[in-house]
Amino acid sequence: MKVLTITTALLAAAFLVAPALAQEGATAGGTQTAASSYSCDPNTCKLPNCLCASTSPPGGLQPKDTPQFVVITFDDSVQSKLLQTAQDMLNVKNPNGCPAKGSWYVSMEYTDFSLVQQWYANGNEIADHTFTHVGSPSAQEIAAAKSMLHEYGGVPYGKIKGFRAPFLNYTAETLSNIQQQGFQYDTSSTATVDDCFWPYTLDNGMANDCWTGICDAGKVKLPGVWELPMYAVMDNANTPQLMDVYLAGSVSDVTGWSNNNFQRHYNGNRQPFGIYVHPTHLTNFPGTPDASSLKNGVVSLIQSLAGKPDVWFVTNQQLLQWMQNPVPNSQLASQPYMQCNVPNTGKEICNGLENITISADGVASGGLLQNCNFNTTNWHTCYNCPSSAPSLETPVPSASLQSNDPNYRKPVPDNCDSIWWDPVVGQCLCTDSSCAYKDTAVPSSKNSTNGTSASGSPSDSKTGSAANAITPIYGILVTSVLAGLTGLLL
């Protein structure tokens, strides 16, 4: 409770300095101080598992030899129109000819899980943004989202490595929770100028957001967990803008600030540059202001950054793979994690790469998808619909179909990546070592019951009970989020 109290007090102070903070993460705290309490010895903290916070590139690389990474991240629900916005933003190529990739921090409400799988199967990253989208989330909030992304989006547990706190509101306890749940990294903190650190591990604590007290000695010590600071754009008034920078000024102003800050990174120590958006703000919906010029501004910015031989648009997972074994720009194109081979499964299967159609009102459908329809929500999946609406207490209710039903879908086993898994037949179509996958991050609570055989046991592995009469959380949320939408508090 003490941590919460301190954070709240400081947040309140920040409101006085920067009233615009009411927008989720729009501006960082106005009174930044250097990470004076942070200390780390690079002689003992060494890659690949430990790295001290530093403004210099890792591995002793010179800035001129260092790739300039650009991370484009998307927050909140995955819906068809939002996915289209994201795809429009990522419509550029990396120097090796592969398409740009992005990371999506997914909250569960309004999310269509068939689109989660589409995003993942196309080489992008799916990460955790809690079930109900709450700040300082409980362990249950974080775990529930992870379970659903796996169960209905088919994302292997071991590929859900990242977390971002809603409203960027995290505490030491939040970070501890994600470590206990096997996440590799958090990306909720803010980097401005003095603390514009490359990603680092938390073996020696936090070195960003120190004004909240999070860097105080002993407060955070999480060996092997990475912190990927979010890199702020400093505007004309030297106020740090963080998420949704496009909302902070005219398109030309925002483009100018963004370019200036990109140059600060590119001509400096090449720290990653971030473009952090809520795609709802950049997407047209009936009854909301036209977002076209905002979106076009962001798309133009991204296209202006592309085309340089050392600028790479990557997911945070790709960035971390490079961080653990940094190579000069000249060697990046050939790294395995920078490839873009699409699996050839020989037939259309429900793996996220199948053809789906989006209707005019934005509903996804496809011949292989199951339609999960509850009173307040409607989404699709390649897997089995739950027998009741998921709730925080029971995020993965028992399947609506019995395992002997001909339409029953076979859950993805832990020895097959879902891009190779045919859930209709229950078969892994990967036949050689290049695509072999073993998910070593399955929560222990599932190990005892989950079907893990190579052929994909059709046994119903769900431990949740349909008999549990839990109030579906969606019903509660619809009201509060519709109310919140008017204030753009997403």
Output the smallest distance, CB 79 to Zn ion, in A. Answer: 14
Judged by CB, which is closer to Zn ion: 50, or 168? 168
Count of Cβ atoms closer than 10 Å to residue 410 Cβ: 21
**How far apart, in Å, are the Cα atoms of 367 and each of 122, 149, 347, 349, 387?**
19, 21, 14, 10, 21
Q: Which residue is nearest to Zn ion (CB)?
A: 75
State in angstroms the smallest separation of the CB of 172 from Zn ion.
20
The minimum distance between CB 350 and Zn ion, in angstroms, equals 28
Quick one: 76 or 414, whose CB is closer to Zn ion? 76
CB of 29 to Zn ion, least distance (A): 18
For 164, 228, 456, 461, the CA distances from 231, given in Å and listed in that order, are 14, 9, 43, 42
Is 244 a binder of Zn ion (CB under 5 A)? no
Indicate the residue among 270 and 281 with the shorter CB distance to Zn ion: 281
Shortest approach of Zn ion to residue 130 CB, angstroms?
Answer: 8
- Please say which residue, 16 or 20, places its beta carbon nearer to Zn ion: 20
Q: Long-range pairs for 210-213 at CB < 8 Å and ≥24 separation?
A: 210/32, 210/33, 210/34, 210/35, 210/36, 210/37, 210/38, 211/10, 211/14, 211/29, 211/31, 211/32, 211/33, 212/6, 212/7, 212/10, 212/11, 212/29, 213/3, 213/6, 213/7, 213/10
Asked if residue 57 binds Zn ion (CB under 5 A), the reply is no
Give the shortest CB-134-to-Zn ion separation in angstroms: 10
Q: Looking at beta carbons only, is 340 or 489 nearer to Zn ion?
A: 489
Minimum Å distance from CB 278 to Zn ion?
7
Question: Of 35-43, 44-52, 166-174, 341-349, which segment contacts Zn ion by CB under 5 A?
Answer: 166-174
Q: For the CB of residue 135, give the shortest distance to Zn ion in the complex, in Å.
A: 9
> Quick one: tokens of 205?
């604590």
The CA distances from residue 343 to 102, 114, 436, in Å, are 19, 18, 12
Contact in structure between 179 and 225 (CB atoms under 8 Å): yes
C-beta of 76 vs 186, nearer to Zn ion? 76
166 contributes a contact to Zn ion by CB under 5 A: yes
Cβ distance to Zn ion smaller for residue 23 or 179: 23
| CB-count exposure of residue 159 (10 Å: 0-12, 13-18, 19+) | buried
Helix or strand (DSSP H, E) at 222 = strand 222-227
Residues 97-116, interacting with Zn ion (CB under 5 A) = none
* By CB under 5 A, residue 76 contacts Zn ion: yes
Cβ nearer to Zn ion, comparing 127 with 215: 127
The DSSP element (H or E) to which 487 belongs, if any, is: none
Cα dihedral: 283, 289, 295, 298 (round 10)? -130
Restricting to residues 442-471, name those near Zn ion by CB under 5 A: none
Q: Which two tokens stand for residue 348?
A: 């259309």
- How many CB atoms are located within 10 Å of the residue 331 CB? 12
Tell whether residue 75 is a contact of Zn ion (CB under 5 A): yes
Judged by CB under 5 A, the stretch of 29-37, 67-75, 195-203, 451-459 that binds Zn ion is: 67-75
Nearer to Zn ion, 278 or 446 (CB): 278
Contact 184, 159 (CB under 8 A): no
Name the 3-class secondary structure at 95: coil
Residue 162 found at the interface with Zn ion (CB under 5 A): no
Size of the site for Zn ion (CB under 5 A): 3
Instruction: Quote the CA–CA distance of 177 and 247 in Å, as a whole number.
Output: 32
Phi-psi region of 238 (alpha: psi -120 to 50; beta: other; left: phi over 0): left
Helix (H) or strand (E) holding 393: none
Stretch that binds Zn ion, among 138-146, 159-167, 198-206, 452-460 (CB under 5 A): 159-167
Does the protein bind Zn ion through residue 128 (CB under 5 A)?
A: no
Contact predicate 13/31, CB 8 Å:
yes
Q: With contacts defined by CB under 5 A, name the span among 62-70, 92-100, 161-169, 181-189 that binds Zn ion.
A: 161-169
Min CB(167)–Zn ion separation in Å: 7
Whether the Cβ atoms of residue 150 and residue 182 lie closer than 8 Å to each other: no
**Minimum separation from the CB atom of position 298 to Zn ion (A):** 17
Minimum CB–partner distance for residue 26 and Zn ion (Å): 12
**Is the CB of 57 or the CB of 102 nearer to Zn ion?**
102
Tell me how far, at minimum, the Cβ of 75 lies from Zn ion, in Å: 4
How far is residue 61's CA from residue 411's CA, in Å, rounded to a whole number? Answer: 44
Which residue, 107 or 394, has its beta carbon nearer to Zn ion? 107
**Interacting stretch for Zn ion, rule CB under 5 A, among 38-46, 70-78, 154-162, 200-208?**
70-78
**CB-wise, 75 or 209, nearer to Zn ion?**
75
Binding range to Zn ion, per CB under 5 A, among 165-173, 297-305, 366-374, 464-472? 165-173
Question: What residues form DSSP beta bridges with 81?
Answer: none
Positions in the binding site for Zn ion (CB under 5 A): 75-76, 166
